[in-house]
Amino acid sequence: MEFFTIINIGGTIAFAVSGTLAGIRKQLDIFGLSVIAFVTSIGGGTIRDVLIGHFPVRWLLDSSVILLIIGIAVLTILFKNHIEKLDKTLTLFDSLGLGFFTLRGIQEGLAIDLDLMACIILGTITACFGGVIRDTFLNEIPTLFKKEIYATACIIGGLLYFLLRKIGLPTELVETLTVMSIVGIRLFAVKKNISLPKIK
């Protein structure tokens, strides 16, 4: 299996686990947990597909992703006490998903000739807005808007992507460095507990 495919699946799994755990805290039933796992994983990509006009949105054509996410939701419910101990592994996969999904969004934007800013926004939406839908459904102000370096990592990674591309590095190197920078910034922010400033 291709390296990027593995990361993609890892990211999808991490997002689905995060959605399911958030739903359990809000006492959802099994159906609700599956939906939350689902929108957390594929919500960002769905919004991106809608904004650029790519229909049917991709997951409708990909039953394996649907099954994977429902399976992960069920496994998370069954083994939730054990999964919470996997904190560090989940953070790693979540960061990898963040990097990969950002890259994916940028590439989708480039494929229809959007400019730098639109591409970086699409990358950030792909990576982060599944979590925004999750929090909105769970009746909370999206964490993304309140704390942590999360979208910021996507934006910096996106800027780096266009910089490295401009100076003429080969595509694969540009992509790898982009994903690595996003993962690195995110893991560093988690480790050091860094957030963006709030406005008083």
Contacts to a copy of itself by CB under 8 A: 23-24, 26-33, 35-36, 46, 50-53, 55-57, 60-61, 63, 66-67, 77, 80, 109, 112, 114-118, 121-122, 132, 136-142, 144-147, 151-152, 195-199
- Residue among 7 and 153 whose Cβ is closer to a copy of itself: 153
- Residue among 122 and 183 whose Cβ is closer to a copy of itself: 122
CA distances from 131 to 3, 48, 61, 168 (A): 25, 14, 22, 34
DSSP string, 48-65: HHHHHT-SS-GGGG-HHH
Task: Give me the least distance between CB of 84 and a copy of itself, in Å please.
Answer: 13
- Residue among 191 and 198 whose Cβ is closer to a copy of itself: 198
Residue 127, both tokens: 């990576």
The CA distance from 174 to 121, in Å, is 18
Length of the chain, in residues: 200
- Residue among 88 and 147 whose Cβ is closer to a copy of itself: 147
Judge whether 40 and 126 are in contact, CB under 8 Å.
Answer: no
- Residue among 136 and 176 whose Cβ is closer to a copy of itself: 136
Task: Give me the least distance between CB of 93 and a copy of itself, in Å please.
Answer: 22
42: left (phi over 0), alpha (psi -120 to 50) or beta: alpha
Task: Give me the least distance between CB of 153 and a copy of itself, in Å please.
Answer: 11
Task: Give me the least distance between CB of 106 and a copy of itself, in Å please.
Answer: 13
Task: Give me the least distance between CB of 172 and a copy of itself, in Å please.
Answer: 27
The CA distance from 183 to 160, in Å, is 13
